Amino acid sequence: MNQAYSSLAQFYDESIGVDYGEWLRYLLSLTLRHHHLPKEILDLGCGTGNLSIPLAKRGYKVTAVDISREMIAVAQNKALAENLEIAFLVQDMRRLDLPASTFTTVVSGCDVVNYITTPEDLQSAFSAVNRVLQPGGLWLFDLNSARKLQETYGHQSYADLQSDYSYFWDNSYDWQRHLCQMELTFFAKTWGGLYERVTETHQQKLWWPQDIRKMAKLTGFTCLACYDFLSTSRWSTKAERWQFVLRKPIDKK
């Protein structure tokens, strides 16, 4: 059993099926909506760089952090191929080792915060982000919603067959702990034509908007909004993803 995103890293971009161009346009539109000008951006939970790289192409100064060395390695190779200068770092978002007040903006795309599964760790992550944000800075992140974790994932199983790999994805949802566990089994084609079997486990926690608002207040943020993803409509139980916008207040002293 491998750590999450160790085996998946090499297949992630092929299997994710996400329009990151649309995602990035949405995030930047939210910065405009909330009268914010991004400059120095931290892509926290950057994965394979699908937000970091287009942000750097737009001229932003980008630092990208992920806990998975394998995902960072893929992102670095992609940035190198584009001749882009992005600082990629392997770090845990609960314990960021970055200078205080470094960034105007933090983005965390694709349910990064769902991977934090305890209130104590959530508080550590929020405090760490608050420390590295400049006063007035924004943190934009999304969460898989109750509908996504309880129903779409729930106790469902999925499979996909490609020319050089296949995977089986088995889910279970713990209603007492509000945790979704996902076991992914990959069969990856090797140089000899045989297939190697690797398995990794993911856990995601259901955090309701009220949980996020309470944690934001506790750690010194103002929760400006929670939207149904790709919209500016107030969050609903029908959405599969919720988008949050948090601000670090300006010290008026």
pLDDT digits (tens, 9 = 90+) for 185-219: 888 777 777 777 888 899 999 999 999 999 999 99
Domains (ranges, CATH) in the chain? 8-144+207-247 (3.40.50.150), 148-205 (2.20.25.110)
Mean pLDDT of 13-34: 88
Comparing 52-66, 153-167, 214-228, 235-249, the range with the smallest average pLDDT is: 153-167
Provide the pLDDT for residue 122.
Answer: 98
Provide the pLDDT for residue 2.
Answer: 43
Please enumerate in sequence order all residues whose Cβ is within 8 A of that of 80, keeping only pairs 6 or more positions apart, or say none: none
Q: pLDDT tens digit string along 35-65?
A: 999 999 999 999 999 999 999 999 999 999 9
- pLDDT at residue 8 above 60? no
| Ordered DSSP codes for 121-150 | HHHHHHHHHHHHEEEEEEEEEEEE-HHIII
Three-class secondary structure of residue 169 per DSSP: strand
Please enumerate in sequence order all residues whose Cβ is within 8 A of that of 191, keeping only pairs 6 or more positions apart, or say none: none
Q: pLDDT tens digit string along 74-131?
A: 999 999 999 999 999 999 999 999 999 999 999 999 999 999 999 999 999 999 999 9
| Percentage of the chain exceeding pLDDT 90 | 79
Pick 142 or 253 by higher pLDDT. Answer: 142
Mean pLDDT of 143-151: 98
